[in-house]
Chains A and B, each alone.
Chain A
Amino acid sequence: MNRCCSRALASALTSSVALFLSAAASAQTPELSSSDWRQKNRGDAIISSYGSPQHFALELRVGPYYPQVDSEFGGGATPYKTVFKDNPNKAAEDGAGTATGTQIYFGAEFDYLPLRIPYLGVFGPGAGLGIVSASAAALLKSGPDAGKPSGETTTLTILPMYVAAVLRADELMRRTGFPFVPYAKFGLGIAPWKVSGAAGVVTYVDSKTNQTVRAADTTFGLHLALGGMLSLNFIDLKSAAQLDETVGVNHVYLYGEWMDSMLNGLGSRPQMHVGASTFIGGLAFDM
């Protein structure tokens, strides 16, 4: 991963850790929140079974990510596929360690879930941050070797972010013990991106207008995700209880979701379609 990716990921992880600690500290108070709706739906049995109150969730996210850049051209042109997938020597470049080839999304999401909807689950806002980059060798433009890979690497870096309304339907698990929590998220996405080469962000000179365009911009869009979480507490109930007592983590989940980042500009000025429809997985914690 290049330096910018590492820095962004480090920032995200740092933020996540800070959130984790602050949330964990708050979650240790064994009191019911006054914001709960009808507390009669939450019997003492339920409360005692699940220890400390739950108001937050944290997800560590990873998965494949293939930006839908080519969708902007309606199938006529495929610049992303040409450069990052069909590049004749991309495999060789991968071997040389200069091109990542595979686009892997890393991210984190934090949810604040203050509302408990009776017989359904918890609801609240969430925000996510991730990073993904694709690299390949730039192709020679002229000369006898035109079309062949050059020594220069071209990299597209995207920073998908979103704010969304999150619903985690955990009442089934709370009432029956069945360790599965379905959930849904819907909101707005924003994704800054840049294209860089050996000397930083590249530029493009329009031959018609002679204008120089910097290869960096921001794309807006919608964000939708549907998924399910498998609680891992059943593996060792005693350890799970200790985890709740010590740091306030009620459950640890293994989860998977279908994420559709519809980052296409929301119909505004032309924006690069850097969103993706993909499957994301990882670990989640509710606190």
Chain B
Amino acid sequence: VQSFKRIAKAGGGGTGRAPRWLLGAAVAAAGLTGAGSSRAGVGVGTPINGPIHGSLTNYISMEDCLADKSFTFQLTGISASAGNLEIWMSTSSASDCFDTNVRKPVNGGVPVCRQLSPSKQSISQVTLKVKDIIQSVNVLYSATAPPSVPGPECSSSFSPNGQKKPFYIYFLDSTASTGDGTTTSTGVTATTPTSNPWPGWADLAGPPPPTALNLKVGNGILVLDYNGSANDDVLQYRVYCGVNTWTGSASSSSASSSSASSSSASSSSASSSSASSSSASSSSASSGSASSGSASSGSASSGSASSGGAGGTGGAGGADAGADAGAPANCALPVGLVTGQIPPDDITPCETEPYGTARINVGKTKRLTNGTSYAIAIAGIDKVGNVGPLSTPICDAPQYTEDFFDAYKNAGGQAGGGCGLCSIGEPRGFSITAIAGTALTAIAFGARRRRRADRSRRGHR
């Protein structure tokens, strides 16, 4: 509730904050949508409070669910105080929950619509908790769950590949709604939706990790190539790096995880391991308990297709908590980072690059040490802030290189040490290009002025 007021007060854009015009536009759009409703007993809910993610006003993220946020709807066309208000949800725009036949599950099967319980009602407003919405989303997208099962809270099991899923919320007068569709053997009735539900998106899982990681070495950098996530809502990638903590055996790997990252680069042979760039194929052995995030974050990554599913319960068990079973041989991530798990918020990524970056120079922000083996892994972030699971790490060591200037100086060249093009490419620099352009423009205007003066003199004669 406070978020909308805060946003309206701030009136600015950015992540987590939407400008006032955006809020107004959202409300107006919802109102216009509702204005099309002509069915008696069908109300229109316009959200006046709720989570906002930049320009996205009808998205629910994992953070929204964990923070127990809620939506408040302004109702029109129906009164919440009459006692007849029912709020229903479906996951398909083709399923109109106004139809009582659609709302009825047949033979205890998976329902098409599910009733929500508003946590607060007044004459014209109703509040829905995000957790309740997500519970219903999980039930409705479940292939087997009966309607009586409440569904897990803040779980993204409905979206194993991290894709967002739609849902629709109906505000109905239970005494007015009727069955006007055709009942089929499965209980699903095909009707043309006319109830103008409020559409939303449940997006609780980050994108799957990039695959086919490949490292090339440079002078104080490692150049990372990868195949990006398949999701369509990736915002950026975070690259995590740290000294390779591999100590020589599988069992000791987990031990090293708890002994900080003081274990230096194991050997220089790590530099030749760049071939181990297979896609993320971690087994489910990686323990969910290793993640420092909440339980839900573990489950959020559990279905990640390319990570192979970092199940919260299977695999290594408590004794190996913290072990990165998904990592390849000779390569181990620093403490707190586990293949297939969501990286904790308290670990700062080495690089952050926008979606679409084909190649990332790791070490650009802070140079890496030549000769030291580093473990590199990458995770995606979607547009509502969900962080995806980490990719399988890959290790290599930066090395000294000979660039053109090295070759020039080693050959005996004496030039260098000046400014040259130093200002080009630096946003705040005084570009020499700008100087030259200004000079050319000045010449042109000077010449033009002279021509005008000439003409003026001729005119006076």
Contact = CB atoms under 8 A, between A and B. Distances in A.
A34 to B, nearest CB: 5
A233 B422 CA distance: 43
A112 B271 CA distance: 59
Contact of B215 (A73, A97, A151): A151
Contacts of A110: 440, 443-444
A284 interface: no
A98 B450 CA distance: 49
B32 interface: no
A127 B433 CA distance: 13
Interface in A119-149: 125, 127, 129, 136, 138-144
B437 A14 contact: yes
B40 interface: no
Nearest to A151: B216
Nearest to B444: A19
Interface string B381-424: 00000000000000000011111111111111111111111101
A194 B424 contact: yes
Interface stretch (A21-29, A171-179, A223-231, A236-244): A21-29
Contact of B407 (A4, A14, A33, A79): A79
Interface stretch (B7-15, B70-78, B299-307, B453-461): B453-461
Interface string A61-94: 0000000010011001111101110000000000
Nearest to A124: B447
B441 interface: yes
A202 B418 contact: no
B437 A34 contact: no
B399 A15 contact: no
Interface in A186-225: 192-204, 206, 213-219
Given A26-B448, A79-B404, A195-B403, 9 more contacts: A7-B433, A29-B455, A55-B451, A141-B402, A142-B399, A143-B271, A144-B272, A216-B418, A218-B419
Interface stretch (A155-163, A254-262, A275-283): A155-163
A204 B406 contact: yes
A156 to B, nearest CB: 5
A154 to B, nearest CB: 4
Contact of B451 (A33, A79, A192, A270): A33
Identify the 9 closest CB pairs spanning chains A and B, nearest first: A151-B216, A152-B218, A216-B420, A151-B223, A270-B414, A15-B437, A4-B425, A77-B411, A154-B403
* A interface, size bucket: 35 or more
A82 B439 CA distance: 37
Nearest to B400: A141
Contacts of B436: 11-12, 15, 127, 129, 161
Contacts of A8: 424, 431, 433
B23 to A, nearest CB: 36
A118 interface: no
B223 A152 contact: yes
Given A12-B437, A14-B437, A214 B218 contact: no
A139 B407 CA distance: 10
B447 A219 contact: no
Contacts of B222: 151
11 contacts: A11-B433, A33-B451, A76-B411, A84-B404, A151-B217, A152-B401, A159-B432, A195-B405, A200-B425, A206-B409, A270-B413
Interface of B: 215-223, 268, 271-272, 358-359, 361, 363-364, 367, 399-422, 424-425, 431-434, 436-441, 443-445, 447-448, 450-452, 454-455, 457-458
A198 B451 contact: no
A36 to B, nearest CB: 10
A217 B416 contact: yes
Contacts of A82: 407
Interface string A1-43: 0111001100110111011001101100101011100000000
A179 to B, nearest CB: 26
Interface of A: 2-4, 7-8, 11-12, 14-16, 18-19, 22-23, 25-26, 29, 31, 33-35, 55-56, 69, 72-73, 76-80, 82-84, 97-98, 110, 112, 114, 125, 127, 129, 136, 138-144, 150-152, 154-157, 159, 161, 192-204, 206, 213-219, 269-272
A71 to B, nearest CB: 11
Given A112-B447, A154-B403, A154-B404, A79 B411 contact: yes
Contacts, number: 238
Give the interface SS of chain A, mostly helix, strand, loop or mixed: mixed
A174 B400 CA distance: 62
A202 B403 contact: yes
B311 to A, nearest CB: 35
Nearest to A97: B358
A228 B329 CA distance: 66
Contacts of A84: 404
Contacts of A213: 409, 416-417
A197 B409 contact: no
B448 to A, nearest CB: 5
B408 A3 contact: no
A197 B421 contact: no
A129 B433 contact: yes
Contact of A198 (B363, B407, B425, B454): B363
Given A7-B425, A150-B219, A152-B403, A219 B415 contact: yes
B221 A198 contact: yes
Nearest to A204: B409
Contacts of A25: 448
A272 B424 contact: no
A26 B455 CA distance: 11
Contact of B447 (A11, A34, A83, A114): A114
Contacts of B400: 140-142
A8 B438 CA distance: 13
Contacts of A140: 217, 399-402
Given A12-B437, A195-B403, A270-B414, A218 B447 contact: no
A216 B421 contact: yes
B364 A69 contact: no
Given A129-B436, A142-B400, A204-B406, A33 B443 contact: no
A182 to B, nearest CB: 24
B413 A22 contact: no
Contact of A18 (B410, B434, B444): B444
Nearest to A144: B272
